[in-house]
Structure 1
């Protein structure tokens, strides 16, 4: 996808066919490293929420919710979101809204250097190492610096990741990434920076884990080449794994199936008869017209909106079981 389309994607993805019902929204726009939004339960009336400088002028882009309304509840579970390559913090906002309506706090940010408005690090190995650190920083902010931090139960932390965000989640919950393995998918004639670094061993160390995360939902995780079965063996938290039968956009369905089969424990695994983009929030008519590539599902006839109704409900159910029903313990 060319950069121009990534800009359009970032501008339009938030326009859903079905709005949120009761999610409160606070925008994070004072720090480029923490640019995004927080969704949470509240009793306010949902309205259109313009994104201001988080959107690219002159487009009039908004979310739907009760902006800056008081948080309802106490000792609430928190789920942090990680978007895919070139995405942005609203990529799965329907899921974030469903969780907020169900009593969760949700926080999502743009990954610096790899989002719809900033591609400066998108194709560099450094972003593979920085993404998990971005999520650690977000979690630190939510627990220590967010103005409403007192409502969060630090023993009830979850993670949601799509595509490269799924890779990010695997690392955070205990997997060890070996970036030298990137050489396995490089052709001998490929002299690009990442291939040369992988061959020489000049790669970043495996990014940090975060033991505060107690459960994770990962959808069509990318970068499966970075993990061996041994590298995945350190994962000890409950996982809900979603994968597409058809893959796409650099995600090979054969490798997502292999990784899912190598995960320790008994992860909850779901396979859908569609392609990679089916996990993105349903497209508005405007987005479908502007960027049909990410809105046209395969096979023809796959109903993304109907799927997300079930997908969001399954994500909510999973996090309720593992972050609420068991009291937040492992």
Structure 2
């Protein structure tokens, strides 16, 4: 029966694509201690060519919102991320009637990436909750929403946020222990984009320095957890997850969907998404697996002109059919939220 309902909602998501003529764009100004919240929403106003950063969109900037399906989905971006690389999943959700809010995570965003990793992961779930509060206070959107059932989508570090909100428990010490045991095989997960192993004589220094920093910064074993009872369905895409107590994910608090990419070289699946699936199935759902997708597969549109290590980690691997795969993944994600959030 559940499979039939999922198929029905997938058809509804496909059908609804032509209901709203445009996607609106607005920003809720930053509150003390938080960044701004970017909001995408159904609008009856005419979309115009709009440039944001290196991206070009057709958007109704500050367009008047129109009533959709009454539900909000919050998107948590990856490390150093921006709203613009999630515009395609936002458009799919908006076309189905959702309002989509994207908080800017403190010190781990495209304007300021000074403090990624466990420090940011500790703050992000509460930042998601405050983004829900901010949308609920905004007079443009509050009358159009019921916030008793909110969706949450996160990718990469945002996927870590998603798993936390699904009931997962982790600790900085868990991150340290993972990196002690798997530093070479999961190096980029442990150090980010600061450096990489080359197979040369300096690798021993790189490994020593990485463990030195990790030992001094991430030895706190206190479990991190955060619950927001308004969040009723969660999707984690290529999540950072090696530091979680997998037993805490065996029975997710709400319906949880996973999106995986088998050619992810930043968050190696056997340490991250595969472990989550092994822990939570059958009480979670594999929304989509991308056998040829890399870590940046869900960045849509993808950032142009990446070079060096960041390009190696985020650019599509050879053979990945982005144009064929991503629209279907977005439709399935939208259908998952429709199935679990709509009456």
**What TM-score results when the alignment is normalised by the length of structure 1?**
0.80
Q: 1:237 aligns with which of 254, 270, 283?
A: 254
Distance 1:193 1:288 in 2: 27
Matches within 5 A, 1:30-41: 30-31=30-31, 33-41=34-42
Distance 1:245 1:106 in 2: 28
Question: Do the aligned partners of 1:282 and 1:304 also contact (CA within 8 Å) in 2?
Answer: no
Distance 1:243 1:178 in 2: 23
Mark the CA change 1:287 to 1:217 in structure 2 (over 3 Å): closer, same or farther. same
> 2:214 corresponds to which residue?
194
Distance 2:30 2:161 in 1: 24
The answer to whether structure 1 residue 180 and structure 2 residue 159 are counterparts is: no
The answer to whether structure 1 residue 321 and structure 2 residue 343 are counterparts is: no
Q: Displacement of 1:96 after TM fit?
A: 0.5
Q: Please give the per-residue CA displacement for 1:184-206, whole angstroms capped at 9, x wherever unaligned.
A: 233494543432344xx435641
Q: 1:138 aligns with which of 131, 156, 177?
A: 131
Distance 1:214 1:36 in 2: 20
Question: Do the aligned partners of 2:296 and 2:302 also contact (CA within 8 Å) in 1?
Answer: no
The answer to whether structure 1 residue 279 and structure 2 residue 298 are counterparts is: yes
Q: Please give the per-residue CA displacement for 1:100-143, whole angstroms capped at 9, x wherever unaligned.
A: 111000001221100122022125x3212011121111111112
> 1:78 corresponds to which residue?
72
Matches within 5 A, 1:60-71: 62-71=56-65
Question: Do the aligned partners of 2:42 and 2:68 also contact (CA within 8 Å) in 1?
Answer: no
Distance 2:278 2:146 in 1: 32
Question: Do the aligned partners of 2:45 and 2:60 also contact (CA within 8 Å) in 1?
Answer: yes
Q: What secondary structure does 2:228 align onto?
A: coil
Mark the CA change 1:204 to 1:46 in structure 2 (over 3 Å): closer, same or farther. farther
Mark the CA change 1:319 to 1:202 in structure 2 (over 3 Å): closer, same or farther. closer
Q: Please give the per-residue CA displacement for 1:263-297, whole angstroms capped at 9, x wherever unaligned.
A: 1653221221121111111337x546897546631
Q: What secondary structure does 1:92 align onto?
A: helix
Q: Which sections of structure 2, spanning at least 5 residues, go unmatched?
A: 1-19, 182-207
The answer to whether structure 1 residue 253 and structure 2 residue 269 are counterparts is: yes
Distance 1:294 1:226 in 2: 20
Greater Cα shift, 173-182 or 67-76 = 67-76
Q: How many residues align?
A: 292
Q: What secondary structure does 1:208 align onto?
A: coil
Matches within 5 A, 1:1-330: 22-31=22-31, 33-51=34-52, 55=53, 62-73=56-67, 76-123=70-117, 125-145=118-138, 147-187=140-180, 189=208, 190-198=210-218, 201-203=219-221, 205-222=223-240, 224-233=241-250, 235-249=252-266, 251-255=267-271, 256-263=273-280, 265-269=282-286, 270-273=288-291, 274-283=293-302, 287=305, 292-293=311-312, 296-298=315-317, 300-324=318-342, 327=343
Distance 1:306 1:146 in 2: 39
Mark the CA change 1:86 to 1:308 in structure 2 (over 3 Å): closer, same or farther. same
Mark the CA change 1:209 to 1:282 in structure 2 (over 3 Å): closer, same or farther. same
Query: Could you say what the CA RMSD is over the residues aligned between the two structures, in angstroms?
Result: 2.6
Q: Which sections of structure 1, spanning at least 5 residues, go unmatched?
A: 1-19
Question: Do the aligned partners of 1:173 and 1:210 also contact (CA within 8 Å) in 2?
Answer: no
Mark the CA change 1:303 to 1:212 in structure 2 (over 3 Å): closer, same or farther. same
